[in-house]
Amino acid sequence: MPDRDLVSSHYTHGRLVDAIAEGVVRLGKTLDDVTAADLAPVDEFHVGGRVATEAFLDQLGLEAGHEVLDVGCGLGGASRFVAERYGCRVHGVDLTPEYVATGNTLSAWVGLAERITLQVGDASALDCADASFDRAYVIHVGMNIADKVALAAELFRVTRPGGRVGIYDIMRTQPGELAYPVPWAASASGSALSSPEDYKASLEQAGFTIVAERDRRQFAVEFFARLKARAQGGDGPPPLGIHILMGETAPLKVRNMIDNIARELIAPVELIAEKRR
């Protein structure tokens, strides 16, 4: 079972705001004119980035005025997308203090601080009132949470009747030894992969009804093929990208991720569930 401090330390960078600010300058922008779309390559730390975020969150029926919970918000890229695209108010929680602080800074840069609040918190023990959100989502977070039952129970508790929740996680699709490190863990001790069946059982036990499921393996294969092609283009990494978050081990983590998916041991999977009225 991953320890909270182990998970947080895995993601801690040390000078993340400065590194992103430097990338903004290399992009030819300033902190006064940078946009949420400009930041998307670095602040959407999951397979498929912004394209995946949009395809996933469009299934939640988000509307202006909705109160939305971003569980494991990271730098808040998806939070900013939801606030800007749909006109929602977003509350995000994440274990890593540096991610939360950086995310709030990025929201201020792009003028979205009034609609987004990111706080340090535990996804399996949320400091939120019952039935306080119209929608909630989890994007590439469950791989670090062993207790999926507690996660699902908390999602159910804080979601209003008639609300929807979405999970887009890397899930275990077959048994077998994984290659590490990967983006979410340096070793097996930091990983808590579960199967789609385990996720669905936890959601249904909590009281949700599963309304949609989609395996995104082929999407992931194509996404990583594009990443590899760009990396081999000879221009080096882009000014802003998830390589900033993964540090020097980024190439190895990506190679292992591709290998694990190619061996059909894991795949990104979307689940949409509803809390009936």
pLDDT at 1 over 60: no
- Closest by CA to 125, choosing from 91, 151, 164, is 151
pLDDT at 199 over 90: yes
Per-residue b/e over 47-67, b at no fewer than 16 CB within 10 Å?
Answer: bbbbebbeebbebbebeeebb
pLDDT at 263 over 70: yes
Give dist(CA 180, CA 187) in Å, integer.
5
The CA-atom distances, in angstroms, between 138 and each of 110, 149, 200 are: 23, 14, 14
Q: DSSP of 241-268, one letter per residue? A: STHHHHGGGHHHHHHHHHHHHHTTSEEE
Give dist(CA 148, CA 128) in Å, integer.
18
Angle between helices 36-43 and 77-86 (to 10 degrees): 150
| Residue 234's pLDDT band (cuts 50, 70, 90) | low
Range with the poorest average pLDDT among 183-187, 202-206, 227-231, 267-271: 227-231
Give dist(CA 33, CA 214) in Å, integer.
37
Give dist(CA 239, CA 27) in Å, integer.
6
The CA-atom distances, in angstroms, between 218 and each of 78, 109, 266 are: 22, 35, 12
The CA-atom distances, in angstroms, between 124 and each of 16, 96, 220 are: 26, 15, 27
| Tens-digit pLDDT profile for residues 46-58 | 999 999 999 999 9
Collapsing DSSP to helix, strand or coil, 188 comes out as: helix
| Tens-digit pLDDT profile for residues 58-90 | 999 999 999 999 999 999 999 999 999 999 999
> Mean pLDDT, the chain, as a whole number?
94
Tokens at 103, concatenated: 């995310």
Give dist(CA 61, CA 36) in Å, integer.
21
Q: Which fold has domain 4-274?
A: Rossmann fold (3.40.50)
- Closest by CA to 11, choosing from 168, 240, 185, is 185
Q: What is the pLDDT of residue 235?
A: 67
Q: What is the pLDDT of residue 96?
A: 94
> Stretch 21-45: mean pLDDT, rounded?
95
Q: What is the pLDDT of residue 20?
A: 95
Q: What is the pLDDT of residue 4?
A: 75
- The model's pTM: 0.94
Give dist(CA 21, CA 32) in Å, integer.
11
> Would residue 29 be called left, alpha or beta, if left means φ above 0 and alpha means ψ between -120 and 50 degrees?
beta
Q: In which order are the strands placed within the sheet that holds 209-215?
A: 116-120, 89-94, 67-71, 133-139, 159-172, 266-274, 209-215
Count of residues for the chain? 277
